[in-house]
A and B are shown apart, each in its own frame.
Chain A
Amino acid sequence: MEKILHTFNGMEFTVGHAILEFSYLIAAILFVWGLKLLSHPETARKGNIWAAVGMILAMITTLFLHEDENGARIGLMNMVVIIITIGIGGAIGLVISKRVKMTAMPELVSFFNATGGAASALVGLLEFGNPGNESLLVTLLGLIIGSIAFSGSLIAYGKLSGKVGGLSAGFMKYVNILLLMGVIVLTVYILLQPDPQAYVYLVYLLFGVSLLYGILFVMPIGGADMPVVISLLNSLTGIAAAMAGFIYHNLAMILGGIFVGAAGSILTLLMCKAMNRSLWNVILGGFGGGSSAIGEEGGTVKEITLSDAAVLLAYSQKVVVVPGYGLAVAQAQHITHELEKVLEDKGVQVKYGIHPVAGRMPGHMNVLLAEADVSYDKLVEMEEINKEMAGTDVVIVVGANDVVNPAANETSGSPIYGMPIINAAEAKNVIVMKRGMGKGYAGIENPLFYRDNTRMLFGNAKDSIQKLVGEINTL
Chain B
Amino acid sequence: MEDIIIFFYSFREPIFIMILAIFLGIEVISNVPSVLHTPLMSGANAISGVIIIGGIILVGHANLSQLSVELVLGILAMLFGTLNVAGGFAVTDRMLEMFKKKKK
A residues neighboring B (CB under 8 Å): 31-32, 34-36, 38-42, 44-45, 47-49, 51-52, 55, 58-59, 62-63, 66, 68, 72, 74-75, 77-79, 81-82, 85-86, 88-94, 96-98, 100, 102, 105-106, 108-109, 112-113, 115-116, 118-120, 122-123, 125-127, 134-135, 137, 146, 230-231, 234, 237-238, 240-242, 244-267, 270-271, 274, 354, 356, 361-364, 366-367, 370-371, 373, 375-376, 379, 381
Contact = CB atoms under 8 A, between A and B. Distances in A.
Given A122-B80, A253-B54, A257-B48, A78 B62 contact: yes
B61 A68 contact: yes
- Chain B interface, DSSP helix/strand/loop, else mixed: helix
A373 B70 CA distance: 49
A217 B84 CA distance: 22
> Size band of the B side of the interface?
35 or more
Nearest to B77: A122
Contacts of A257: 48, 50-51
Please provide the 3 A-B residue pairs with the shortest distance between their CB atoms, ordered closest to farther.
Answer: A262-B25, A89-B82, A93-B87
Contact of A258 (B25, B85, B95, B99): B25
Interface in B45-101: 45-62, 64, 70, 73-101
Contacts of B102: 373, 375
A375 B61 CA distance: 52
Given A55-B49, A93-B82, A93-B87, A363 B70 contact: no
Given A62-B57, A134-B10, A363 B36 contact: yes
A66 B57 contact: yes
B73 A82 contact: no
B51 A244 contact: yes
Contact of A253 (B50, B76, B83): B50
A38 B32 CA distance: 9
A381 B25 CA distance: 24
Contacts of B44: 35, 234, 238, 260, 263-264, 267
Among A42, A55, A237, A271, residue most surrounded by chain B Cβ atoms (within 10 Å): A55
Contacts of A237: 45, 48
A267 B38 CA distance: 10
A32 B52 CA distance: 18
A265 B62 CA distance: 35
A48 B96 contact: yes
B54 A250 contact: yes
Given A115-B83, A259-B21, A265-B25, 19 more contacts: A39-B36, A51-B46, A66-B57, A86-B52, A106-B38, A112-B83, A112-B84, A118-B76, A119-B52, A123-B77, A251-B14, A253-B53, A259-B25, A260-B48, A263-B26, A267-B37, A270-B32, A361-B38, A376-B99
A363 B83 contact: no
Contact of A126 (B34, B49, B77, B94): B77
Contact of A234 (B48, B53, B80): B48
A35 to B, nearest CB: 6
Contacts of B39: 38, 44, 48, 363, 367
12 contacts: A48-B89, A68-B61, A81-B59, A96-B87, A116-B81, A119-B54, A123-B55, A123-B77, A254-B18, A257-B48, A361-B37, A363-B37
A127 B58 contact: yes
B80 to A, nearest CB: 4
Nearest to A129: B70
B28 interface: yes
Contacts of A259: 21-22, 24-25, 28, 47
B41 A362 contact: yes
Nearest to A242: B18
B70 A126 contact: yes
Nearest to A78: B60
Contact of A260 (B47, B90, B95): B47
A90 B82 contact: yes
B5 interface: no
Contacts of B84: 93, 112-113, 115-116, 119
Contacts of B34: 274, 354, 356, 362-363, 366, 381
Contact of B54 (A247, A260, A267): A247
A52 B48 CA distance: 11
A321 B61 CA distance: 57
A206 to B, nearest CB: 15
The winner among A52, A96, A264 for most chain B CB atoms within 10 A is A52
Contacts of B32: 39, 267, 270
Nearest to A30: B47
B61 A105 contact: no
B98 A249 contact: no
A246 B14 contact: yes
Interface in B1-48: 7, 10-11, 13-14, 17-18, 21-26, 28-48
A242 B25 CA distance: 13
Nearest to A80: B64
A9 B26 CA distance: 34
A44 B36 contact: yes
Taking each of B41, B59, B84, which has the highest tally of chain A beta carbons within 10 Å of its own beta carbon?
A: B41
